[in-house]
Amino acid sequence: MKTAIFPGSFDPITKGHESIVKRAAPLFDKIIVAIGDNSSKNRLFDLEKRIEWIKKTFKNEPNIEVMTYKGLTVDFCKEQKANYILRGLRSAIDFEYEQPIAQMNKNLNHNVESFFLITDPEYSAISSTIVKEIHKHGGNISPFIPEGINLDK
Ligand code: ADP
Q: What pLDDT band is residue 6 in, cutting at 50, 70 and 90? A: very high
pTM of the model: 0.95
Tell me the sheet residues that pair with 87. Answer: 116
DSSP string, 81-115: T--EEEEEE-SHHHHHHHHHHHHHHHHH-TT-EEE
| Protein residues whose CB sits closer than 6 Å to any atom of ligand 1 | 8-10, 14, 16-17, 20, 41, 87-88, 90, 94, 119, 123, 126-128
Tell me how far apart the alpha carbons of residues 108 and 102 are, in angstroms, rounded to a whole number: 10
- pLDDT above 70: percentage of residues in the chain: 97
Tell me how far apart the alpha carbons of residues 150 and 146 are, in angstroms, rounded to a whole number: 9
Tell me how far apart the alpha carbons of residues 120 and 104 are, in angstroms, rounded to a whole number: 27
pLDDT at 81 over 70: yes
Given CA atoms 51, 54, 55, 56 in this order, what sign does their dihedral have? positive
Average pLDDT over residues 97-120: 98
Q: How many angstroms separate the alpha carbon of residue 71 from the centre of ligand 1?
A: 19
Over residues 7-44, the pLDDT tens digits come to 999 999 999 999 999 999 999 999 999 999 865 567 88
Quick one: pLDDT at residue 40?
59
Own/partner long-range contacts of 95-103 (Cβ < 8 Å, ≥24 apart): none
Whether 137 sits among the annotated catalytic residues: the reply is: no
Tell me how far apart the alpha carbons of residues 9 and 128 are, in angstroms, rounded to a whole number: 9
Quick one: pLDDT at residue 44?
87
Q: How many angstroms separate the alpha carbon of residue 9 from the centre of ligand 1?
A: 8
Quick one: pLDDT at residue 19?
98
Tell me how far apart the alpha carbons of residues 87 and 102 are, in angstroms, rounded to a whole number: 10
Q: Which domains does the chain have, with CATH numbers?
A: 3-144 (3.40.50.620)
